[in-house]
C-alpha cells in the first residue's frame, strides 16, 4: 500500500521518502529516498544526530528512535512527499506526531491484542487515532463494528471520510486488471505488479489517495499512476524467490493476511503439494491462522524467529497436529528452509509464512547462500 503510493509519487517526478517497518533483512530497508535504502553511513550519522538531542528522563523506544531518524533524513534530503507507515496501532504510535495531508486505514484485524485491545472495535479505536482534524481519510475497513468507530472518529474531527465500496470502488477484469471508479475519475485497464487478489483493493485505496492529493500534487497523472502501480515491488508478500524447487515467501502475519494467503493458495496452487515453514509471534491469533493455512499443507516445518516475541514452536505444533500429520520442529529458520528445499518433491511448493520476521530470516539465509536448491 505505502510502496504503491511512493512509487506513483516517484513516477510523477517527486522526491519521495518512504518509512516502513519492520525490515526483512537490513535495517536500511526502513528508510528510503526515491526507492533507495539509506546507507550504513547514513544510519550511523542519523543515530548520532538523534542521540545528541535526546532529553533527560526517558530513553526512547527503538521505534521512536527510528522514527526520529527517518524524519530527520527526510528533512535533510528535502523530500517533496513522505509516505509514513505507522508501527503499531496509530493513536499512541510515534508517527502520530505528524499532521499528514491524508491518512489511510487499510483494514482492521485482530493483532497486537496485548497493546491495542481484544476486539475489532477496540483495535479500530487505536488505528483511527491517526485521523486528524479536517484532513481526509481513506479506508478499506468493512467490518460493521470497526467502520462505525472510524466513521465516528472522522465525524468528531471533521475529517472527510472516503470508503472503498461507497465513495470509490473497483471492478475486476481478466488477467488481473481492473477499472477504478473514483470520486472524480474513472481509470480503466489498471494493473498492479503485486500478487494476490487483495492487491486490487490496496491499489484502489492508493488511487483514491491520488485523487484526493492531485490538487496538491499536480504532477500526478493517469500515466504516472499506471507506471507506478506496475513497476512497484514489495518483498516478502507472495514473493517467488526460487523456481527449482518453487519457493514462495509471504509474511501472512495476522488473521487477515493469513486468510488472503489461503485464498491465493486455493486459486493458484491447489494442484501442488505444499510444504509450509511457519513461525508466528506470540501476540497473533495463531490458532485461527493455522486453521486457515494448514488445510492447504501436506507437511509442516515449525520454526522460530530470533525475536523475543516469537511463539515457541511446541505451542504451534500442538495446534498443528490436529490439522496436519507430517510435522517437524526446526528452531533455526535458515535450517528449516534448507531442509524443506532439500526434501521438496518435484512440482511442489515450499512456502515460508506466519511472520515477517521469519520471512526476513529466510531471505537473509537465501542471500547469504546458506540455503541453496538441492
pLDDT value of residue 360: 96
| Domain residue extents for the chain | 2-231, 239-367
What dotted CATH number matches 2-231?
A: 3.40.1190.10
Residues 6+ apart with CB under 8 A from 11: 224, 225, 227, 228, 231
Residues 6+ apart with CB under 8 A from 336: 277, 301, 302, 303, 328, 330
Q: What is the mean pLDDT of residues 46-56?
A: 93
pLDDT, mean over the chain: 93
Residues 69-97: tens digit of each pLDDT:
999 999 999 999 999 999 888 899 999 99
Question: Does 374 have pLDDT greater than 70?
Answer: no
Q: What is the mean pLDDT of residues 114-125?
A: 80
Q: Which fold has domain 239-367?
A: 3.90.190
Specify the residue for cell string 553511513: 41
Confidence of residue 39 (pLDDT cuts 50, 70, 90): very high
Enumerate the β-bridge partners of residue 18. 32, 83
Cell of 349: 511448493
Closest CA to 87 of 174, 169, 19: 19
Question: Does 1 have pLDDT greater than 60?
Answer: yes
pLDDT value of residue 112: 60
pLDDT value of residue 113: 59
Question: Does 111 have pLDDT greater than 70?
Answer: no
Helices (H), the chain: 2-11, 40-52, 62-76, 113-116, 120-127, 144-156, 198-213, 222-231, 255-268, 286-293, 313-320, 333-342, 356-367
Residues 243-286: tens digit of each pLDDT:
989 999 999 988 889 999 999 999 999 999 999 999 999 988 89
Buried/exposed 98-129: b ≥16 CB within 10 Å, e otherwise: eebebbbbbbbbbbbeeebbeebeebbbbbbb
Residues 199-241: tens digit of each pLDDT:
999 999 999 999 999 989 999 999 999 999 999 988 999 999 9
Closest CA to 371 of 284, 210, 245: 245
Residues 289-298: tens digit of each pLDDT:
999 999 999 9
Amino acid at each position: 500500500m505505502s510502496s504503491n503510493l511512493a512509487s506513483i509519487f516517484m513516477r510523477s517526478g517527486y522526491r519521495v521518502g518512504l518509512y516502513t517497518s519492520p525490515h526483512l533483512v537490513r535495517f536500511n530497508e526502513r528508510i528510503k529516498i526515491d526507492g533507495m535504502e539509506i546507507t550504513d553511513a547514513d544510519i550511523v550519522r542519523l543515530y548520532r544526530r538523534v542521540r545528541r538531542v535526546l532529553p533527560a528522563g526517558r530513553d526512547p523506544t527503538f521505534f521512536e528512535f527510528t522514527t526520529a531518524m527517518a524524519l530527520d533524513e527526510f528533512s535533510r534530503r528535502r523530500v517533496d512527499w513522505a509516505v509514513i507507515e505507522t508501527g503499531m496501532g496509530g493513536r499512541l504510535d510515534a508517527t502520530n506526531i505528524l499532521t499528514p495531508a491524508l491518512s489511510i486505514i487499510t483494514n482492521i484485524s485482530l493483532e497486537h491484542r496485548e497493546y491495542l485491545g481484544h476486539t475489532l472495535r477496540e483495535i479500530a479505536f487505536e488505528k483511527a487515532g491517526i485521523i486528524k482534524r479536517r484532513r481526509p481519510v481513506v479506508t478499506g475497513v468493512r467490518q460493521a463494528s470497526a467502520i462505525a468507530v472510524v466513521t465516528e472518529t472522522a465525524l468528531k474531527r471533521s475529517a472527510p471520510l472516503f470508503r472503498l465500496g461507497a465513495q470509490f470502488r473497483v471492478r475486476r477484469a481478466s488477467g488481473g486488471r481492473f477499472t477504478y471508479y473514483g470520486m472524480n475519475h474513472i481509470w480503466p485497464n489498471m494493473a498492479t505488479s503485486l500478487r494476490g487478489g487483495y492487491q486490487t483493493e490496496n491499489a484502489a485505496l492508493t488511487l483514491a489517495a491520488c485523487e484526493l492529493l492531485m490538487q496538491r500534487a499536480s504532477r500526478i497523472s493517469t500515466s504516472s499512476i499506471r507506471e507506478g502501480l506496475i513497476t512497484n515491488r514489495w518483498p516478502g508478500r507472495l514473493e517467488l524467490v526460487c523456481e527449482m524447487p518453487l519457493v514462495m515467501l509471504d509474511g501472512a502475519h495476522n488473521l487477515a493476511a493469513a486468510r488472503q494467503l489461503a485464498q491465493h493458495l486455493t486459486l493458484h496452487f491447489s494442484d501442488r503439494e505444499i510444504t509450509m515453514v511457519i513461525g508466528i509471534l506470540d501476540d497473533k491469533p495463531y490458532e485461527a491462522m493455522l486453521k486457515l493455512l494448514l488445510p492447504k499443507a501436506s507437511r509442516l516445518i515449525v520454526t522460530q524467529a530470533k525475536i523475543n516475541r516469537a511463539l515457541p514452536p511446541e505451542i504451534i505444533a500442538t495446534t498443528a497436529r490436529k490439522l496436519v500429520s507430517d510435522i517437524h520442529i526446526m528452531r533455526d529458520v535458515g535450517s528449516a528452509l534448507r531442509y524443506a528445499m532439500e526434501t521438496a518433491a518435484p512440482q511442489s511448493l515450499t512456502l515460508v509464512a506466519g511472520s515477517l520476521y521469519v520471512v526476513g530470516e529466510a531471505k537473509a539465509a537465501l542471500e547469504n547462500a546458506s540455503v541453496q536448491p538441492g
